[in-house]
A = this chain, B = another copy of it.
């Protein structure tokens, strides 16, 4: 049987109340007493029972991490692993535990409620992909603290996101600067904020150069390799000299299509991706891409949430992280710079 507060209290000659205060860092405990108790705690390697604490104090030091499961992206894309890693790292550092919820298809209201009202979670980090996710709705109506990874188009919620618009703009501008004139784009799903925003960036880049938007140079993909391939095949009919693919997976698909058509990269068609996957640098030719700080986003989301748990605010908080253009070989910039 594990020891209890009571045991520690007895062994150090104080009441269980005092032990509890020591453990919770109550300033008012005399430092002499604190040290005595601490010593006993260390000696016996005492661990307070979190279920009991949760019951008594209504805080468990557990946060939930809700993430879509079904998608095959989870398998091929390191996005979620990285996010998870960031969240858990931040939580570990702050003595929080993380409970994982892979939201499956049949994740209906009842299940959501089950998660939110089982008294186990102090707060939730949600990485939702679609714009009108019912989980976000439920959270919004509850009083559970939560932060969204990825901004929300309508609701005034706490979120942290990557500056997808700026990233998309940077990618497109970079291509324009290499003297490409017919810059096409394969967008992500436009019902996902990320897909939508990157496309916005593409449009803003054209605007800033006063280039009219040509519908035929825009194709909607689904972030997958295959959709990049299909999208590029369609785009090639329009003879673009460059393409901004809103994900690296789609960029790879696009590259496959371009090659199949017997064209060279970047001479005939230049390509810029988005994500900067580990694979981006290993693929031939190495892919120019927009890097996004996913691990850091996860950590910051957890930090924001934990802060929110301790200091509830009226005002919602928003954080937008910068992306970074990583120039490699597919955009045509390298070939102009004498190595």
Q: Is A84 a contact of B102 with CB atoms below 8 Å?
A: yes
Q: Is B113 a contact of A88 with CB atoms below 8 Å?
A: no
The complex places the Cα of A54 from the Cα of B118 at a distance, in Å, of 11
Within A98-136, the residues touching B (CB, 8 Å) are 98-102, 104, 110, 113-114, 117-120
Q: Is B102 a contact of A47 with CB atoms below 8 Å?
A: no
Asked if A50 lies at the interface with its beta carbon under 8 angstroms from chain B, I say yes
Of A49, A81, A113, most B-chain CB atoms within 10 Å: A81
Given A99-B97, A100-B100, A278-B76, also A118-B50 (CB < 8 A): yes
The complex places the Cα of A119 from the Cα of B51 at a distance, in Å, of 6
Q: Is B97 a contact of A98 with CB atoms below 8 Å?
A: no
Copies of this chain present:
2
Q: Is A55 a contact of B51 with CB atoms below 8 Å?
A: yes
Q: Is A84 a contact of B100 with CB atoms below 8 Å?
A: yes
A286 to chain B minimum Cβ distance, whole angstroms, is 12
Q: Is B55 a contact of A52 with CB atoms below 8 Å?
A: yes
Q: Is A60 a contact of B51 with CB atoms below 8 Å?
A: yes
Asked if A13 lies at the interface with its beta carbon under 8 angstroms from chain B, I say no
A57 to chain B minimum Cβ distance, whole angstroms, is 10
Asked if A282 lies at the interface with its beta carbon under 8 angstroms from chain B, I say yes
In the complex, which residue of chain B has the Cβ closest to the Cβ of A252?
B282
Asked if A80 lies at the interface with its beta carbon under 8 angstroms from chain B, I say yes
List residues of chain B with CB within 8 A of the CB of A52: 51, 55, 119
The complex places the Cα of A200 from the Cα of B76 at a distance, in Å, of 29
User: Which of B2, B100, B119 contacts A50 (CB under 8 A)?
Assistant: B119
A273 to chain B minimum Cβ distance, whole angstroms, is 15
List residues of chain B with CB within 8 A of the CB of A100: 65, 84, 88, 98-100
Given A75-B278, A82-B75, A100-B99, also A49-B88 (CB < 8 A): no
Q: Is B88 a contact of A47 with CB atoms below 8 Å?
A: no
Asked if A322 lies at the interface with its beta carbon under 8 angstroms from chain B, I say no
The complex places the Cα of A14 from the Cα of B107 at a distance, in Å, of 32
The complex places the Cα of A8 from the Cα of B306 at a distance, in Å, of 33
Asked if A263 lies at the interface with its beta carbon under 8 angstroms from chain B, I say no
Listed in ascending order, the chain A residues whose CB lies under 8 Å from chain B are 2, 45, 47-52, 54-55, 60, 62, 65, 69, 72, 74-76, 78, 80-82, 84-85, 88-89, 92, 97-102, 104, 110, 113-114, 117-120, 225, 252, 278-279, 282
16 pairs of residues in contact across A and B, judged by CB atoms under 8 Å: A47-B114, A47-B117, A49-B55, A49-B118, A51-B54, A51-B60, A62-B120, A69-B85, A69-B88, A74-B85, A75-B81, A84-B84, A88-B102, A97-B99, A98-B99, A252-B282
Instruction: Please provide the 7 A-B residue pairs with the shortest distance between their CB atoms, ordered closest to farther.
Output: A51-B54, A49-B119, A47-B117, A50-B118, A76-B278, A88-B102, A51-B55
Q: A50-B120, A100-B100 are in contact. List 7 more A-B contacts (CB 8 A).
A: A49-B55, A50-B51, A51-B51, A52-B55, A75-B278, A80-B81, A279-B279
